[in-house]
Amino acid sequence: MTMEAKLKKQLQHLDGVEVDWNVMLTGHTSLRVGGPVSCLLRPLNLAGLQTAVQVLNKNHHPYFILGRGTNLLVRDGGSRAAAISLESGFSQIEHLDSAGRVKVGAGIRLNRLLRFCLKEALSGLEFIAGIPGSVGGALRMNAGTHAGEMADVCEAVLLLLSDGGLSRLSGSQLRFSYRNLELPPNSVVLEAEFSLTLSSREHIRDKIRALLNTRKDKQPWRLPSAGSVFKNPPGDFAGRLIEAAGLKGIRVGDAQISTKHANFIVNRGQARASDILALIQLAQEKVAHEFGVQLELEIEVVGNNHNT
């Protein structure tokens, strides 16, 4: 992916920002597919992130935040956008009081946060057991299961706005809905405050174990995927509809509608994004034709079809 030389030069020498050019996202997404982005920026602190965003905005160059890429399908042609990763500098966890309120950096992995909760005997986030990704991505997606979702425990988020200012959203300003948190355009979640409760480690561990066991029974956890591909339509389940449409196990190239859970598409080896997109289209068309239901994507599709 090309980037104007002037912008490249400016990004190359930013204080507190590591940069790699022309980075294939295959290795940065859980589906293990996708072409390159023009660059991957890793700000080490807030000042670095602010300058990077400022430079990109000044040059009208598109960018997006790459969490752990567990809800993303990057097209084979990649994207001319810059990807920004918070994994290097936004990973603090801090107690806000002794009653269970904690402040957590957006770059932290969910499994690390869960280990912290277990160690500190804090209950409320057990539902993230088995959900991969970062705190920032999980908030943006309002990640969760029937056992709970981020909206249940998130009290506030701190955002970096596209004009470089900071904004703290709390209470009714937090517009969570099913697998979504509405954010101002191009804003970045920097950290979140969670309201948890003091509990016993045994109780938390039992809950986590039970959730992980159910997940292992029902989901294809051995193969690369991006979790549920479609949102569940009101009153039904996307997986049930896709299975009833006779599509479980169907393949395009190395992409397959999982034989274990029809709302998962797995990569059996060398799948391309175009194979996965073909299965998505097939599932949407067949389910619409057979049941009159339009399946809406839960995963996010990024980039271009061709490497231009």
Ligand X SMILES: Cc1cc2nc3c(=O)[nH]c(=O)nc-3n(C[C@H](O)[C@H](O)[C@H](O)COP(=O)(O)OP(=O)(O)OC[C@H]3O[C@@H](n4cnc5c(N)ncnc54)[C@H](O)[C@@H]3O)c2cc1C
Residue 134: active-site member: no
Tell me how far CA of residue 93 lies from CA of 1, 100, 115, 216, in angstroms: 36, 12, 12, 29
Site for ligand X in 2-41 (CB under 6 A): 30
CB atoms within 10 A of CB 93: 17
Q: Is 65 an interacting residue with respect to ligand X (CB under 6 A)?
A: yes
CB atoms within 10 A of CB 87: 18
- Min separation Cβ 139 and ligand X, Å: 7
Q: Is 238 an interacting residue with respect to ligand X (CB under 6 A)?
A: no
Stretch near ligand X under the rule CB under 6 A, chosen from 43-51, 138-146, 168-176, 279-287: 138-146
Using CB under 6 A, count the residues that bind ligand X. 32
- Min separation Cβ 229 and ligand X, Å: 10
Q: Where are the beta strands (DSSP E) in the chain?
A: 17-24, 36-43, 63-65, 72-74, 79-84, 93-95, 101-105, 122-123, 144-145, 148-149, 154-160, 166-170, 176-177, 180-181, 188-195, 197-198, 251-252, 255-257, 265-267, 300-302
- Min separation Cβ 154 and ligand X, Å: 13
Dist CA 130 CA 144 (whole Å): 10
Q: Is 258 an interacting residue with respect to ligand X (CB under 6 A)?
A: no
Q: Is 71 an interacting residue with respect to ligand X (CB under 6 A)?
A: yes
The tokens 């912008």 sit on which residue?
7
Q: Is 267 an interacting residue with respect to ligand X (CB under 6 A)?
A: no
- Min separation Cβ 255 and ligand X, Å: 14
Q: Is 144 an interacting residue with respect to ligand X (CB under 6 A)?
A: yes
How many helices and strands in the chain, by DSSP H and E?
8, 20
Give the 3-state DSSP-derived string for 170-212, with helices as H, strands as E and coil as C.
EHHHCCEECCEECCCCCCEEEEEEEECEECCHHHHHHHHHHHH
Contact assessment for residue 31 and residue 275, using Cβ atoms and an 8 Å cutoff: no
Q: Any residues with CB less than 8 A from the CB of 210 and at least 6 apart, and which?
A: none
Q: Looking at 123, 228, 258, 272, which residue is catalytic?
A: 228
Q: Is 43 an interacting residue with respect to ligand X (CB under 6 A)?
A: no
Residue 298: active-site member: yes
Dist CA 133 CA 29 (whole Å): 10
Residue from the set 124, 137, 239, 303 that interacts with ligand X by CB under 6 A: 137
Q: Is 300 an interacting residue with respect to ligand X (CB under 6 A)?
A: yes
Q: Is 69 an interacting residue with respect to ligand X (CB under 6 A)?
A: yes
Q: Is 70 an interacting residue with respect to ligand X (CB under 6 A)?
A: yes
Alpha helices in 88-132 (DSSP H): 110-119
Residue from the set 1, 3, 82, 86 that interacts with ligand X by CB under 6 A: 86
Stretch near ligand X under the rule CB under 6 A, chosen from 5-13, 218-226, 242-250, 268-276: 218-226
Q: Pick between residue 135 and residue 286 the one whose CB is nearest to ligand X.
A: 135
- Min separation Cβ 307 and ligand X, Å: 21
Q: Is 140 an interacting residue with respect to ligand X (CB under 6 A)?
A: yes
Q: Is 105 an interacting residue with respect to ligand X (CB under 6 A)?
A: no
Residue 85: active-site member: no
CA 137, distance to chain mean position in Å, is 4
Residues at the interface with ligand X (CB under 6 A): 30, 64-72, 86, 106, 131-134, 136-138, 140-141, 143-145, 179, 188-189, 221, 225-227, 300
Residues that are catalytic: 179, 228, 298
